[in-house]
Structure 1
Amino acid sequence: MSPLHQPSCVAMRRGALPLPLELFLAFKDCIHFSDLRTHVCFYKAHSYLAALYDGGEHADKFWQRACWYSGIGTLHRDDVHDLRYWRNIAIEVVECDGFCAHPHCGEALLEYNRESA
């Protein structure tokens, strides 16, 4: 079972945040752009935390930058004009492969991409 779907994560998503939102904003700002897996987990932890990422007119630029820093790009045929395009890519990559234990997949592959980018 993916850590994103653990019972403790699901319970937190439904309740109130245990700390003020300002502290979570400070935590978010300390996560490097290239740590895509942590950003996605933080995003999915609670709807209030998701609002930290989705708020503002340049929300997708954040996800685009995080994907690029992780070595994830697009193909020319992709619809990059969708306002949630890069966020959806980030979430899909982490949900599908972000926690794979294979040595050439998951976080190991994201780390390799970061170093190669």
Structure 2
Amino acid sequence: MRAPLDPHMFDPVCPSTLIPLRFADKWAGMVVRCLEDGPRRFSELRVPLRTVSAKSLTASLRNLQRDGLVTRTERPGPERHVEYALTPLGRSMLPVIEALCAWGAAHWDELLDAREAATPAV
């Protein structure tokens, strides 16, 4: 049994939201990070990705599946059980995402300053 996903995995002050580089869509990198330890159900992904709507998460998962980064497996049984998992191609994105996260953490202050400077005063 896998450990549950940390609900604070993507804390609101996490640098991942400031990184200007994205692949596929806004949530794709975070979904890939959530799947790095093994398959997860949609409801499990919603725990750390609590700010994403179900519609956006579904779209992100479909895009990742279309691009060959994620598989969707429906498990038979009395209750419908669908799991999402990284493909080998999806796993190959983990070092790239880790490098982006490290870059974001290293440049956190600069990114925040740039965002604040670009935000009009109220």
Larger C-alpha radius of gyration, 1 or 2?
A: 2
More helix by share: 1
Give the structure-1-normalised TM-score.
0.34
More strand by share: 2
Give the structure-2-normalised TM-score.
0.33
User: Could you say which structure has the greater relative contact order, defined with CA pairs below 8 angstroms and 6 or more residues apart?
Assistant: 2
